[in-house]
Amino acid sequence: MSERRVYVDHAATSPILPEVIEVVAETMATLGNPSSLHAAGRQARKLVEESRETVAAAFGAGPSEVVFTSGGTEADNLAVKGLYWSRRAADPRRVRILASAVEHHAVMDTVQWLGDAQGAEVEWLPVDRNGRLDLDAYSAAVRRDPESVALVAVMWANNEVGTVQPMGEITAVAHEHGIPVHSDAVQAAGQVPIDFSASGLDTVTISAHKLGGPIGVGALLVRRDVTLTPVQHGGGQERDVRSGTLDAPSFAGFATAARAATRDVEPHMRRLSRLRDRLADGVTAAVPDAIRNAAGARTLPGIAHFSFPGCTGDSLLLLLDAAGVYCSTGSACSVGVSRPSHVLLAMGIADDVAQASLRFSLGRTSTPEDVDAVIEAIGPAVERARAAGLVDATWKNNR
């Protein structure tokens, strides 16, 4: 096994920044519940509010628009359920939810649950071959009966293939009819500029661990005039939207990561784009019949997604893992049975090709040497995976 370890799975989680570890360790020693009125409580509250201000500034929001959560999944649930329940309570006709067919499961499964258990009429909006929302189909869906639409949900950038959606055009159509729009920006944050105020969006999800922050903390950005019905009830600590004791050390770590990830986002984008292009060119040279997915779209600078016909993604992943390269298939796995990614299927990619896919995702610690190690390993891994597939097929045919 190779001595070198190459991490190209930043889209799953990024290495925690040293300064974040330092801040969290230091603040964990701070005594006091931020909701207490004594001096220790006030000191903890000060830390929470300073963290809120930092996160707000990093993503173009007002401090009062930042609702801290336990991460991206909770934030998506708060937004989708909260908007749906609030809008339907105000007008029982508002039962339709329009969501892109390539959403992260935190949005997709929440929307589907509302359809199955809460009477929502769910419409999955189609995307093109590159994973970009079909704007004509979307506009037609909105305008068919705008008074019945509770909300629209379209992710800022896809977590598998990296396609960046045209958020300005999406919000313009919805807001023409007074419809709120939620966007999961978990993958986009730190890789492209996020300006909540300028985006026109009503709610946006951010997660700390994609930015080099702690796992288990995130935020939902909520416009001041947006009303959300709470998912859980209690002390009402976060704008009466999200109850629970405030986790001051995690918020401080999140704030530190958000500041670091956004202060130089433009040069970071350029550096990642160069590394990604080097990786993509090298993979294509090593495996000439590899298919780069979403190649015709604007994608995040850190993601390169490939299909390798004749292989299975799981086999390739394990072979690369043995060679010291850590990446992702980007496909869902349920009860040990591999399934093709819903994102790739929505893009019109055949099942067998979808199951032959890998996602390489780069981040702040990625280097040219990392990219070269991936390029060196991918050719032999594909050869071995294809050979294993042929042996397996021969064995099955001879049974």
Residues 348-371 have pLDDT tens digits of 999 999 999 999 999 999 999 999
CA angle 140, 144, 149 (to 5 degrees): 100
**pTM attached to this predicted model:** 0.94
Catalytic positions are 333
What is the distance between the alpha carbons of residues 8 and 212, in angstroms, rounded to a whole number?
14
Instruction: Calculate what percentage of the chain has a pLDDT beyond 90.
Output: 93
Q: What are the start-end ranges of the E strands in the chain?
A: 6-7, 66-69, 96-100, 121-125, 149-153, 181-184, 203-207, 218-222, 291-292, 303-307, 325-326, 333-334, 337-338, 357-361
Residue in the block written with tokens 């220790």: 40
Q: What is the pLDDT of residues 39-85, one digit of tens each?
A: 999 999 999 999 999 999 999 999 999 999 999 999 999 999 999 99
Domain boundaries, given as residue ranges, for the chain? 6-14+264-397, 18-262
Q: What is the pLDDT of residues 158-173, one digit of tens each?
A: 999 999 999 999 999 9
Q: Is 92 exposed, middle or buried (0-12, 13-18, 19+ CB in 10 A)?
A: exposed
What is the distance between the alpha carbons of residues 238 and 258, in angstroms, rounded to a whole number?
19
Check residue 339 and give left, alpha or beta (phi > 0: left; psi -120 to 50: alpha).
Answer: beta
Q: What is the pLDDT of residues 310-321, one digit of tens each?
A: 999 999 999 999
Check residue 209 and give left, alpha or beta (phi > 0: left; psi -120 to 50: alpha).
Answer: alpha
pLDDT-derived band at 306 (thresholds 50, 70, 90) equals very high
Question: Cβ(213)–Cβ(62) under 8 Å?
Answer: no
- Calculate mean pLDDT across residues 130-155: 98
Q: Compute the Cα dihedral for 382, 384, 389, 390 and give only its sign.
A: positive
Cβ–Cβ contacts within 10 Å for residue 82, how many? 24
CATH number given to 6-14+264-397: 3.90.1150.10
Q: What per-residue confidence (pLDDT) applies to 394?
A: 40
Q: What per-residue confidence (pLDDT) applies to 337?
A: 54
CATH topology for 18-262 is Aspartate Aminotransferase; domain 2 (3.40.640)
